[in-house]
Amino acid sequence: MIISRTPFRISFFGGGTDYPAWYQEHGGMVLSTSINKFCYLTCRYLPPFFDYRYRIRYYHREETQTLDEIKHPSVRECLRFMGMDQGVDIVHHADLPARSGLGSSSTFTVCLLHALYALKHQMPTKRELALHAMHIEQEQIQESVGSQDQTIAAFGGFNHIEFGGVPEITVQPVIMAPQKLEQLEKHLMLFFTGFARTASEVAEEQIKNIPRKTQDLKIMMNMVPEALNLLLSPHNTMEEFGKLLHEQWQLKRGMSSLITNSTLDDIYETGMKAGAWGGKLLGAGGGGFMLFLVEPERQVQVLEAFQDLLHVPFRFDHLGSQIIYYSHEDHF
């Protein structure tokens, strides 16, 4: 029996430059962190007493004889990639909903890969987990997804990630004074907008728009080192960091007609009028979670302005994907 735990993520800057269609030509970089909200997967070999070979429980329940019959694309292709030659029982739990802009689909893929490796008594590196998850989603499933979600889910922590070239991904932890990191945490507020969407559908249009959005993407990519300089400055730069978030959101919302809508724009404007310095819609767009950077003294005002939205407190995660339970049992 294996239980794996993998964190969701928040992306601050550089989102959109992590699509292979962009970074294979121009390079890419993001500033992202994993958070203490997790995907959990329980995995074990299925005893041979049933009239099916695979049992998968998520928001649906699947019981199939063959891999090709499995409808969940990540489960099907992870099992195929790992060459599982015995029946498997998989159960999914999560702290946050799917399709909400926090990298849930890639977190699931990394989490499942980690569990299947452990089931086969193998210990992959964080880089292997990330690259294999990218291969499964981008090549086997052929989804329109970037490469940061798999990377941050596997590695965990607050990172400056670069994409492209021979290594494909380069992960550099952001070394901040503990009090500065805690200060950033205390300034962040996360709200669920109540809408869900399929990220790959939004991303597909964004990828199509890359040739005519080159200048905007270069500006967004150049905001990453600018944001890093603010965070690493010895001075109190939270307001400047928030204003840079706001500037990036203005660029991001123009990348695709599917990223935002009048309701989401109203939510953002409400947060800004209530005292936020800046913010953004997380993920590919179209719904999910809205992030704001607000000085602690004004957060009560923001909470009052969003009484109809769910506020989700969180902290940063520093561990990435983990096997939290491993029981070696004889199987049939």
The CATH number that applies at residue 228 is: 3.30.70.890
Contacts of 73 (CB under 8 A, 6+ apart): 141, 143
- CATH code of the domain containing 141: 3.30.230.10
The number of distinct structural domains making up the chain is: 2
108 and 195 belong to one structural domain: no
pTM: 0.94
- Cβ–Cβ < 8 Å for 177, 185: no
214 in the same domain as 124 = no
Is residue 332 one of the residues assigned to a domain? no
Query: Quick one: 245 and 264 in the same domain?
Result: yes
- Amino acid identity for residue 232 in this structure: L
Residue 265 lies in a domain: yes
Residue 331 domain-assigned?
no
Nearest to 160 by CA among 146, 168, 149, 170: 170
Spatial separation of the C-alpha atoms in residues 247 and 234, rounded to whole Å: 23
108 shares a domain with 96 = yes
- What is the model's pLDDT at position 71? 98
pLDDT value of residue 127: 97
Indicate if 168 and 255 belong to the same structural domain: no
149 and 196 housed in the same domain: no
228 with 253, same domain: the answer is yes
Give the count of beta carbons closer than 10 Å to the beta carbon of residue 61.
9
Are residue 170 and residue 182 in the same domain, yes or no? no
pLDDT tens-digit readout, 288-323: 899 999 999 999 999 999 999 999 999 999 999 999
Question: What's the pLDDT tens digit per position in 11-59?
Answer: 999 998 999 999 999 999 999 999 999 999 999 999 989 999 999 999 9
How high is the pLDDT of residue 308? 93
> Do residues 164 and 91 share a domain?
yes
Same domain, 155 and 82: yes
Q: Does the CA dihedral 153-157-161-167 come out positive or negative? A: negative
**Single-letter amino acid, residue 57:** R
Is 41 a member of any domain? yes
Q: Are residues 182 and 171 in the same domain?
A: no
The per-residue pLDDT for 257 is 76
- Residue 275 belongs to some domain of the structure: yes
What's the DSSP call for residue 319?
S
In a domain, 256, yes or no: yes
In a domain, 159, yes or no: yes
Q: Residue 301 is part of which domain span?
A: 178-311
Query: For the chain, which ranges sit under pLDDT 70?
Result: 195-203, 284, 329-332
User: Does 134 lie in the same domain as 99?
Assistant: yes
| DSSP-H helix ranges across the chain | 20-26, 73-82, 104-119, 126-135, 148-155, 178-187, 199-208, 214-232, 238-252, 262-273, 299-305
pLDDT value, residue 173: 97
Residue 317's pLDDT is 96
142 is a domain residue: yes
